[in-house]
Amino acid sequence: MEGSYKKNLLQTFITDSNEALDLKLVREPFDVENDETTFKPEMSHQIFGENESIFGYQNLKISLYYTAGKLNTYLGITYKAEVDPKQFDGAIADDVMGAISAKLPPGYMTNLDDFVATLNKEQTFKPFGELLSTYSINKGSATERHFQLYSCTIEEIGFRSYHERLQTFLLWYVDAASFIDVDDDRWRFYLIFEKYPCDGGHRYAICGYATVYLYFAYPNKTRPRISQFLVLPPFQRLGLGAELLNVIYRSFLKDSNILDITVEDPSEEFTRLRDFVDSQNCKKLPSFSKEKLHQGFNAEMVDEAQRDLKINKKQARRVYEILRFQATNLADFEEYRAYRLDVKRRLNIPYQKEASDYKKLQKALNPEELRSTLSTSTKEQRIENLDKQYQMLENEYRHTLERLAAAQ
């Protein structure tokens, strides 16, 4: 009975780390106590392990606060009770402060009053780098907001230490996040700030950022690759992601040395954003007109998308499929069937290669060796897999088209 009671009691010392952590971008002292300014992490396994749980505390609350402009940082924890090792066979509480502080650059604060006092310095903060674009929402209304997008390099005075604080957000929102080697001068940084009124003047709050690496492309070109891309939760669903991506694109369009722009391990969310932005931009190109879409994917689309928008061939094909789907009359049996077959022909290419490899191996191996080497799929399995792949794609394309329609 006592063992069961202890076990149940121990369970009360286990906390979901995503629920325990409160993040804030603080503009004024009131924000510290205001629950509406709190936002949560999407993940915490990169700090607290795969189970995303913390042992050793009851009613645990972790506060990780940043001033909205300078990103001065406060880290603190509160809890009702901590597990007693004497009572629970030597069980020790997890070192929460140590786990998080190991990822923070030096200079973070653990005294909340000291943190609030730094808000007086926010008025001197100005964004880093070159202003590339401005963006406004709710123009002419009481809720009008203004944003500015900048680009800079690590050489910008003060930006190195600022970036050290900024990149800590990745741990809570980007899976398999890693801190980049900023000493490599081929990195470019893009930042979004909100310019908001305060005390008769203006201040700036960070909203998100992206990093781009300039890869070499044989023989004498450059291929930028978008590496990290994050719009912070308080600023999501405002159109800032699309604006940031377009600003990155525009910064390279006039450079004849740029071959095309790629993306490193894009998440599902980023893939959807990229599909939307690229489809919106390609719709304006003559080669992506409705008439030409029905004639099939061709070299003119590849060349024009690469030349005018720096979109690579693989992404140009995906955009073609999205826009052709939009141009297809789904009520017309033959037209819809022609579209499905066109997409499935592309999806079938790996299976065709598999069949070709199988024929080559047939000549070199005996039947037993062949069976142990390859697990080829049957025709029925291939058809079933193709149907599943196609249906998943169509669902993704419908999502993009819904957003395109809403943006018109």
Q: Report the alpha-carbon distance of residue 395 to residue 322 in Å, rounded.
A: 11
Tell me the two tokens of residue 225: 């690759």
Instruction: State the pLDDT confidence band at 1, using cuts at 50, 70 and 90.
Output: very low
Token couple for 261: 């722009």
Beta-bridge mates of residue 54: 15
223 membership: H or E segment, kind and range: strand 221-231
Sequence-distant (≥ 6) Cβ neighbours of residue 292 within 8 angstroms: 286, 298, 300, 301
Q: What pLDDT, in 10s, does the model give residues 237-283?
A: 999 999 999 999 999 999 999 999 999 999 999 999 999 999 999 99
Residue 328 has pLDDT above 80, yes or no: yes
Residues 2-20, mean pLDDT to the nearest whole number: 86
Are 58 and 80 within 8 A, CB to CB?
yes
Q: How far apart are the first and last CA of the chain?
A: 66
Name the residue with tokens 């290669």: 353
The pLDDT of residue 361 is 62
pLDDT, average across residues 180-189: 96
Beta bridge partners of 308: none
**Which comes out higher in pLDDT, residue 3 or 199?**
199
pLDDT score at 105: 97
Location of structure tokens 């693989």: 314
Instruction: List Cβ neighbours of 90 (8 Å cut-off, separation of 6 or more).
Output: none
Specify the pLDDT at position 8.
Answer: 81
**pLDDT > 60? residue 403:** yes
For β-strands 21-26 and 61-67, DSSP reports them as parallel
Say what the pLDDT of residue 6 is.
72
Residue closest to 246 by CA, chosen among 170, 337, 392, 133: 133
CA distance 391 to 186: 40
Structural domains of the chain in order of their starting residue, each with its CATH number: 1-122 (3.90.360.10), 126-265 (3.40.630.30), 290-407 (no CATH)
For the record, the structure tokens of 46 come out as: 């990169």
pLDDT band at 103 (very low <50, low <70, confident <90, very high): very high
The long-range contacts involving 144-148, CB below 8 angstroms and separated by at least 24 positions, are 145/194, 145/196, 145/238, 146/194, 146/195, 146/196, 147/192, 147/193, 147/194, 147/195, 147/207, 147/240, 147/243, 148/192, 148/193, 148/195, 148/204
Q: Is 375's pLDDT higher than 60?
A: no
Does the pLDDT at position 9 exceed 50? yes
| Residues classed as catalytic | 264
- Reduce the secondary structure of 136-190 to three states and give it as a string: EECCCCCCCEEEEEEEECCCCCCHHHHHHHHHHHHHHHCCCCCCCCCCCCCEEEE
Q: Provide the mean pLDDT of the chain.
A: 94
CA distance 330 to 57: 57
Q: DSSP letter at 110?
A: S
Higher pLDDT, 374 or 383: 383
CA distance 356 to 256: 39
Burial 375-400 (b: 16+ CB within 10 A, else e): eeeeeeebeeebeeebeebeebbeeb
Position 370 pLDDT exceeds 60: no
- Indicate the pLDDT class of residue 351, thresholds 50, 70 and 90: confident
> What's the number of CA atoms in the CB half-sphere (13 Å) around residue 14?
8
Q: What is the pLDDT of residue 355?
A: 63
CB atoms within 10 A of CB 257: 10
Structure tokens at 331: 């009520």
Question: pLDDT category, 352, cuts 50, 70, 90?
Answer: confident
Kindly report, residue by residue over 285-323, the tens digit of the pLDDT: 999 999 999 999 999 999 999 999 999 999 999 999 999
d(Cα 265, Cα 194) in Å, to the nearest integer? 28
Q: Which amino acid is at 193?
A: F
What's the pTM value of the predicted model, to 2 decimals? 0.92
> Hey, CA dihedral for 212, 249, 135, 275, is it positive or negative?
negative
The CA distance from 208 to 187, in Å, is: 17
Higher pLDDT, 374 or 239: 239
